[in-house]
A = this chain, B = another copy of it.
Amino acid sequence: MASKTFYAIIAGAGSGTGRASAIRFAKAYPVVLLARRPESYNDIVSEINSSGGRAIGITADATDQAALDSAFQTISQTLPGSKLAAAIYNVNGGFTRKPFLDLKLEELDASLDAAPRGFFAFAQKTLPMLLESVPDSLYPPTLIITGATASVRGSAYFGGFAAGKFALRALGQSLAREFHPKGVHVAHAIIDGGIDTPWGKDLVMNNGVEDGKIKPEQIAEDYWHLHIQHRSGFTHEIDTRPFVEKF
Bound: A174/B247 CA distance, A: 10
Determine the interface band of chain A, counting residues with CB < 8 A from chain B: 35 or more
A1 interfacial by beta-carbon distance below 8 Å = no
A112 beta carbon closer than 8 Å to chain B: yes
Residues in B whose Cβ lies below 8 Å from that of A185: 243
A117 CB contacts on chain B under 8 angstroms? 105, 108-109, 112
| A234 sits at the interface (CB 8 A) | yes
Q: Are A170 and B157 neighbours in the complex by a CB distance under 8 Å?
A: no
Interface centre among A105, A128, A211, A225 (most CB of B within 10 A): A225
Q: Is A108 a contact partner of B128 (Cβ separation < 8 A)?
A: no
In the complex, chain B residues whose CB is within 8 Å of the CB of A60 = none
Provide the residues of chain B in CB contact with A127, threshold 8 Å: 100-101
Q: Identify A154's interface contact among B162, B174, B242, B245, CB under 8 A.
A: B174
Determine if A173 is an interface residue (Cβ-Cβ < 8 Å).
Answer: yes
Closest to A128 in B: B101
Which residues of A pack against B, CB within 8 Å? 65, 99-101, 103, 105, 108-109, 112, 116-117, 120-121, 123-124, 127-128, 140, 150, 153-160, 162-175, 177-181, 183, 185, 193, 196, 211-215, 217-219, 221-222, 225, 229-247
Q: What 6 A-B pairs have minimum CB-CB distances, sorted nearest first?
A: A154-B173, A159-B174, A218-B233, A166-B170, A156-B177, A154-B174
